[in-house]
């Protein structure tokens, strides 16, 4: 018998701000792993070579943490309702990067949950995972019934649409498991495919990262942005929210209650001319503890300069 119940873990996870929460057995992600390998073989991941590393670890949590028996899957709402500006002199930054770095926020909460569990069951081993760990966050979220995989390849929840961060807590004990999978509610809708200005969603549930504005403005280290990204930026300088903004399920979005996701001053409407001339010192100071650090000052300057050479973005 488990020294602690799934109900108790879920209640504590919700007390920490997570919702929804699901718990599933730590089995191998066979079907999901096969789809990942196919996607990698088609080179749809672009220069993100880290996705190809530790492939077996990504599909088998026991290889990530030997002795894993259960996976606690959590989601955390990050939505803020401010609109992106359509001013041609203003840049657009994805909502997920308006506040503190979500890796830090989720990791802190998951570690707090693990400490709470170990206070009651000291023998339990665990590991907190956010997307920087080699684990398939979206696959686990779907297995745990948190939501379904949308056609834009983001997980969509009934409660908040797709405006959620995902995380997992690997545990060395067996628990009572959820077996309710959320059905796919995308139906015949193709709003995300039609709205993507670069055609990155090449088919329902299939993303070509090399055409994605988020990939280009965050992950790509090239001196210039390739086509079709470069000519279709629509003033995005870090990430892109288009496919999420047009999703009908976004009508259920609610403002987050997490203080650390509060938008920083100037983050929702940064001036392109200022971003294009940022110094390293200014970048480090302005984006301390921010996910925007990922693109580095050279990437942000590149993106802002490219955006200034393009037509103004359409109104939301």
Q: Catalytic positions, please?
A: 131
Kindly list the distances between the CA atom of residue 135 and the CA atoms of 28, 58, 109, 260, in Å, as whole numbers in the listed order.
Answer: 11, 4, 18, 24
Q: Report the distance separating Cα 288 and Cα 101, nearest Å.
A: 9
DSSP run (H or E) holding 132: none
Q: What is the DSSP string of 142-198?
A: HHTTS-EE-TTSSEEBTTTBT-EEEEEEEESS-------PPPP--TT--HHHHH-TT
Q: Report the distance separating Cα 309 and Cα 302, nearest Å.
A: 11
User: What residue spans of the chain are helical by DSSP H?
Assistant: 6-15, 30-41, 55-59, 61-64, 102-120, 137-143, 191-195, 213-214, 242-245, 272-275, 280-286, 296-308
The answer to whether 250 and 163 have CB atoms below 8 angstroms apart is yes
> Strands 236-238 and 164-171, how do they pair?
unpaired
Helices 6-15 and 102-120, packing angle to 10 deg: 140
3-class secondary-structure state, position 248: helix
The answer to whether 292 and 127 have CB atoms below 8 angstroms apart is no
3-class secondary-structure state, position 64: helix
> Strands 148-149 and 126-129, how do they pair?
unpaired
């Amino acid at each position: 018998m488990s020294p602690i119940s799934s109900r108790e873990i879920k209640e504590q996870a919700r007390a920490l701000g997570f919702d929804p929460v699901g718990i599933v057995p730590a089995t191998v992600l066979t079907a999901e792993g096969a789809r990942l390998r196919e996607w990698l073989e088609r080179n749809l991941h672009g220069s993100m070579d880290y996705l190809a590393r530790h492939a077996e670890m990504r599909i088998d949590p026991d290889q990530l943490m030997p002795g894993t028996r259960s996976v606690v899957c959590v989601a955390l709402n990050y939505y803020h309702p401010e609109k992106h500006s359509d001013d041609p002199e203003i840049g657009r930054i994805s909502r997920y990067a308006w506040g503190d770095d979500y890796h830090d926020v989720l990791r802190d909460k998951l570690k707090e949950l693990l400490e709470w569990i170990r206070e009651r069951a000291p023998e339990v081993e665990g590991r907190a995972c956010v997307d920087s760990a080699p684990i398939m966050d979206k696959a686990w979220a779907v297995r745990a019934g948190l939501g379904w995989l949308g056609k834009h390849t983001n997980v969509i929840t009934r409660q908040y649409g797709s405006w959620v961060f995902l995380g997992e807590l690997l545990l060395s004990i067996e628990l009572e498991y959820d077996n309710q999978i959320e059905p796919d509610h995308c139906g015949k809708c193709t709003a995300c495919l039609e709205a993507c200005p670069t055609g990155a969603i090449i088919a329902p549930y299939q993303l070509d990262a090399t055409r994605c504005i988020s990939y280009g403005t965050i992950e790509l280290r090239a001196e210039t942005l390739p086509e079709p990204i470069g000519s279709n930026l629509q003033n995005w300088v870090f990430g892109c929210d288009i496919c999420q903004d047009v999703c009908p399920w976004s009508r259920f979005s609610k403002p987050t209650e997490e203080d650390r996701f509060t938008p920083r001053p100037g983050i929702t409407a940064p001036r392109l001319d200022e971003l294009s001339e940022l110094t390293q010192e200014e970048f480090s100071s302005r984006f301390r503890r921010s996910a925007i650090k990922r693109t580095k000052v050279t990437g942000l300057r590149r993106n802002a300069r490219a955006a200034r050479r393009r037509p103004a973005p359409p109104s939301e």
